[in-house]
Amino acid sequence: MSNVVSTAARPATSEMVRRLPEYLMIWVPLLLSAAHLISFSIWTIWISFTPSTLIPVSGWVGLRNYNAVLASRNWQIAFDNLLLFGIAFVLLSLITGLALAILLDQRIRGENVLRTIFLYPLAVSFVVTGTVWSWLLNPGIGIEKLIHDLGWSSFHFDWLVNRDMAIWTIVIAAIWQSSGFAMALFLAGLRSVDTDIIRAAQIDGAGPIRTYVRVILPTLWPITITVVVVQLQFAISAFDLVRALTNGGPGIATQLPALVVYDLMFQRSQLGRGAAAAVLMLLILLAVLLPYAAWRYVQRRQATHA
Amino acid sequence: MRDRSFAPSRILIYLVVTLFAAAYLAPLVVVVLNSLRTNEEIAQGSMIGWPQHLAWGNYALAWSGFCIAETCAGIRPYMLNSALVTIPATIFSTLLGAVAGYAVSLWRFRGDNWIYGIVTLGLFLPQQMRLLPWTIVLRDIGLINTLWGLVLIHTIQGLSFTVLFCRNYYIAIPHELIRAARIDGAGFFRIFWRIILPLSAPILIVTVIWQFTHIWNEFLYGVTFTTGQQQPVTAALIALSAAVADIPQHGVQSAAVIIAALPTLLIYLFGGRYFVRGLTAGAVK
Amino acid sequence: MPITTTRRRLLAGSAAALALPAFARAQGAVKPRLTAISQWSAGSDGAAITALGKKFEEKGGVWQHSPVPGFTTEMMNKLRAQIIAGDPPACSQLKGPEIAAWSKIAPTVDLDAVVAAAGYEKVVAPDLAKLHKPGGKWIALPLQIYSTNMLFLSKRAMDKAKADKPPVTWADFNDLAEKMKAAGVTFPVANGGTRADDGQKFEASLAGISPTAYRAAAMNLDKKALEGPEMKAAFVQMRKITNWMDPNVGAQPYAINLKRFVDGDMGMLIMGGWAQGVLKNAGFKLDDFVIAPGPSDNGNPVFLLNADAFIFWQRKEPDLQAGQALMAQLVMDPAIQTMYSQITGSIPVRTDVDLSGEGWSDGQRRTAAALKDAVANNQAVLSLAHNMAQENGLTAAMIDVFTEYAKNKTIKPEEAVTRLAEAVEGSR
């Protein structure tokens, strides 16, 4: 922090006027952004305590909305699914992304083409991803049908219509769409590892796998955190994807909190309950993000002291 | 490691990479093939299949033929709407995010950490939760049912991402550079323009790619805050796919999906290399 | 920034309610204009609303329709945004009890005078009329009627099973399904996998077993009826139906199976009359299938009513008011209803339209006859699965139970009855 250019503590008035444009450029967007986040959050918290249905109204119902949401099967299933989906998706996309990055890091031919192939799903909208995967994974019209038509009629791949496995189809589609981002970050990390360290390890007689495990991967920790944060954000916004792929089905087996929020707020016209579900969702997020923020804080403190 | 010491197992590496690539390409291949099959052909068989004869007509229909209620203009006018929202919102959110990221990382001012923290938290606030508050805001500033309203929303929401990535990028720039320039009498904007911006190409490419694809693919705000002929291209795609009460038009739908995804696909095709390069510099901190 | 919109504020403008003289006078002076929101964007729905717009323009009006593609929810989001912005459309698609719910958040137009002038009330089924005049005044006009429990029979599957007439009761239905299965029809019941689809299986079962129990349980949410023996019987029947369906359909709409249905690979489709328009649009011939009223154990047709409607929102602009008057007249016009229904496969709201002429199908004639019968026997009830019986929140909570039951065969009928009662309780 010490080597940062600090602005004067108390600029004179004429100085203020002279620097007005830059203050405006810095503060107006930042304040607008922060203000919308804070006020929208507070607004949602407030609505979660009101009897709002079709449109926001004032009033006070205490914790009634929260109790109703927590007692509903939809929310209970959505919560379990979020844990499963969140953990499975983030872990698997980390592994896939890392594997792809390591593979691409082997000075292989056609790296540019391959990188583009792994990245292009990011360009596709969630709705399209969900729709296309709902075709592919549907046993009646997709992969299973194709394999049956090819003559292997005992082949079974019906996760999409299987209550217990359907959530994994969302994991598959989500990994397909977003692991390219993890790959790009890891590849960036691998490329910025100091070659001297690698050489030193090799001189010490470490084999390639050993060099990866012992020397290179540990340097990727900070990136891993970034990837987890970005993927988590992806997991939360995967709303359109789920809607197009399973729409919460079969039955209500693949409900997710974001779906429940939207459903309550806009389809069921229970705005108060939807807001309560949104607040619960934010609480879950905070439970994940606060440790991360604390970790960052400690890290920064250490960096300052060093 | 990075030399040829892997040579004996390189065949395995190529094999694995090829398998991965095939898996990643499969959905695109299926959509491309379907875009060349007629609706009937798909309905008779499965969603996966080789075109019996190339039905280029799907593209003509998708581009300028199919009807959304009384408007039979295909996807074309909606592409323009999406561009009118996406391009300004991408430029604004990137530029403002770059300036703010530069200020937060290199100038430091009171409260900067706080406001930076809050703004980046915006990445995690679910979109559907913000729909009604935005409705009220747009009403109060009179921008409901205008494309500028959408530009405003996407600019403000996009800042969360652009500020995060720009700040992480700029923090690696040696502060001596800035200090020297200040001693020479250069101000905030001059330093940004002369020193920072020329160094920013990699990260700006990342934020532009990210913002462009996200805004282009957005649906919820797009249909709620526009009216009639102003709707974005995602709305047109949904109109083709959500015709629940009708025989599926998978051929035309696939062609429309391809056309609608072209701008973002092209951006990744040509920008992908810089994407990784920019991330190398930006997101790793 | 005022961050809430109170009901009072929205209704502030409604003090001077729109009365007939102004309504009628406005018409001659200005060019009528109509802003409308609907989700009808594609297929026969899109074609029908487009034809209606053409008629509106022929009468000298300016037609400004904003289709909102997607699910009904997106259409409602759009409507809500317009209402919050103080700029509701002159009229918008809305149906069932939602008409009453939404009319509380923004002022609507009192249509009593135009309805009376057209003598419309006499020719609309009373249960249906009630939905469109929540406060005792007409504020919305139904446009077309469907029955959600029509039975479509594949001719080829019938031939395979050597059956020549449609089943009347659920026992007949089950019989025929068994016969079809034995004769090699892979799935005796053709189906989709959407939530509404699963809901329809239940409502058809219950209404067919006992329209009285249906009225008490699904429409009036009577606690005793919700736990009554008919409910269990309905779940038992629904389980039979789901056992005959293709489990692989996923969340795809029923239309994906129409070809297999026509080919005789699937036997019977329990669906709204709109399937007829879809079959016709898809190029299938009317003699590929037979349409009959859904099974009813007492032998008289039970009609599960689903009606699309337009609600009219109060506007101050004279041209919009003139447009509303013109639109109201058009929607009530027998010729317009005929045109609309012939495109979509529905039947007209008006009970006095003659369906014997050309342009009407046997299916539509049978539907209209079923409605007449059902009304006479007090067996016309409101569809739950299509949001006619309850507001959306309650409907969705109940459909949660139906869709889980359809897809999870370990849930026992008794358990489903309990869950349904709980869902109703939890959502009140």
**pLDDT tens sequence across C241-295:** 999 999 888 888 888 888 899 999 999 999 998 888 888 877 788 889 999 999 9
Residue B245: the pLDDT is: 53
Does C234 have pLDDT greater than 80? yes
| Predicted pLDDT at C20 | 42
**Model confidence over C307-350: pLDDT tens digits?**
999 999 999 999 999 999 999 999 999 999 999 999 888 999 99
The answer on pLDDT for B1 being more than 50 is: no
pLDDT of residue C6 exceeding 60: no
Q: Which chains pack against A, by 3+ Cβ pairs within 8 A? A: B, C
Confidence of residue B242 (pLDDT cuts 50, 70, 90): low
**Does C22-145+307-344 match C150-305+365-427 in CATH topology?**
yes
Asked whether residue B284 carries a pLDDT value surpassing 80, the answer given is: no
- The residue ranking higher by pLDDT, A234 or C177, is C177
pLDDT of residue C394: 95
pLDDT, average across residues B116-137: 90
Q: Is B137 on the interface with A (CB under 8 A)?
A: yes
Question: A41 at the C interface (CB within 8 A)?
Answer: no
Of B13, B157, B261, the CB nearest to A124: B261
Residue C386 in this model has a pLDDT that exceeds 80: yes
**Would the CA dihedral through A2, A4, A5, A9 be positive or negative?**
negative
Share of chain C above pLDDT 90, in %: 76
Residue C28 confidence (pLDDT):
57
pLDDT at residue C16 tops 80? no
Indicate the range of A105-109, B32-36, B271-275 predicted with least confidence. B271-275
| Cα torsion B154, B157, B160, B163: sign | positive
Q: What share of residues in chain C are helix, strand, coil (percent, to 5)?
A: 55, 15, 35
Q: Which residues of C touch A269 (CB under 8 A)?
A: 76, 98, 101, 391-393
Residues paired with residue C269 on neighbouring β-strands, in sequence order: C152, C190
List chain A residues with CB under 8 Å of C4. 56-58
pLDDT value of residue C18: 44
Indicate if the pLDDT at residue C13 is higher than 60.
no
Q: Residue A4: what pLDDT?
A: 46
Cα–Cα distance, C148 to B273 (Å, whole number): 55
Checking if the pLDDT of C403 tops 50, the result is yes
Please judge whether A136 and B30 are an interchain contact, meaning their C-beta atoms are less than 8 angstroms apart: yes
Q: Residue C11 has what pLDDT?
A: 41
DSSP C268: E
| Structural domains in chain B plus CATH codes | 4-60 (no CATH), 76-282 (1.10.3720.10)
Q: How far apart are CA A172 and CA A241, in angstroms?
A: 11
The band of C8, judged by pLDDT with boundaries at 50, 70 and 90, is very low
The DSSP code sequence of C303-368 is EEEEEEEEEEB----HHHHHHHHHHHHHHH-HHHHHHHHHHHT-B-S-TT----STT--HHHHHHH
Residues found in chain C? 428
Specify the CATH superfamily of domain C22-145+307-344: Periplasmic binding protein-like II (3.40.190.10)
Return the top range by mean pLDDT from A205-209, B196-200, B256-260, B275-279.
Answer: B256-260
Q: Mean of the pLDDT values across residues C420-427?
A: 92
Stated pTM of the model: 0.90
Interchain contact, C3 vs A43, CB within 8 Å: yes
Closest C-alpha to C132, from C90, C103, C89: C103
Res B9 pLDDT > 80: no
Provide the pLDDT for residue B270. Answer: 86
Cis omega (within 30 of 0) on the bond before A250? yes
Q: How far is A164 from chain B (nearest CA, A)?
A: 24
The reply to whether CATH 3.30.420.40 applies to domain C150-305+365-427 is no
Helix (H) or strand (E) holding C266, with range, is strand C266-271
pLDDT at B274: 80
Mind listing the pLDDT tens digit for each residue in C99-154? Answer: 999 999 999 999 999 999 999 999 998 889 999 999 999 999 999 999 999 999 99
C71 and B242 in contact by Cβ < 8 A? yes
Strand, helix or coil at B192? helix
Selection from C200, C151, C208, C256 nearest residue C403 by Cα: C200
| pLDDT level of residue B281 (50, 70, 90 thresholds) | low
Cβ–Cβ under 8 Å, residues B32 and B55: no
pLDDT at residue B74 greater than cutoff 60: yes
Confidence label for B34 from pLDDT (cuts 50, 70 and 90): very high
- The per-residue pLDDT for B243 is 57
pLDDT grade, residue B93 (50/70/90)? very high
Over the range A266-277, which residues count as b (16 or more CB within 10 Å of their CB) and which as e? bbbbbbbbbbbb
Tell me if A269 and C4 make a contact (CB, 8 A cut-off): no
Show which of residues 176-195 on chain A sit within 8 Å of chain B, judged by CB atoms.
176, 180, 184-185, 187-189, 191-192, 195
Residue-range domains of chain A with CATH: 48-305 (1.10.3720.10)
Could you tell me the pLDDT band of residue C427, with boundaries at 50, 70 and 90? confident
* Contacting C residues, span 219-258, partner chain B, CB-CB under 8 Å: 253, 255-256, 258
Question: A10: distance to nearest CA of chain B, Å?
Answer: 11
In Å, what is the CA distance from C157 to each residue of A30, B260, C178, C268? 66, 41, 12, 8
Residue B39's pLDDT band (boundaries 50, 70, 90)?
confident
What is the distance in angstroms between the CA of the first residue and the CA of the last residue of chain C? Answer: 32
Q: How confident is the model at residue C2 (pLDDT cuts 50, 70, 90)?
A: very low
Asked if B188 and A126 come within 8 Å (Cβ–Cβ), the reply is no
Verify whether the Cβ–Cβ distance C195 to A267 is below 8 Å.
no
Give the residue extent of every domain in chain C: 22-145+307-344, 150-305+365-427
- Phi, psi at B137, each rounded to 5°: -65, -45
**CA C230, CA C222: separation in Å to the nearest integer?**
13
Do residues C169 and C299 touch, judged by C-beta distance below 8 A?
yes
Flag residues of chain A having pLDDT under 50. Answer: 1-9
Search chain A and give the residue with CA nearest C403: A251
Q: A132 contacts in B (CB within 8 Å)?
A: 27, 30-31, 257
- In degrees, to the nearest 5, what angle opens at C-alpha C254 toward C-alphas C249 and C255? 120
Q: Most B CBs within 10 Å: which of A7, A26, A177, A304, as the mutation test of the B interface?
A: A26
pLDDT at residue A214, as a whole number: 81
Mean of per-residue pLDDT scores for chain C: 90
What tokens were used for C318?
Answer: 């004279």
In chain B, what percentage of residues exceed pLDDT 70?
93
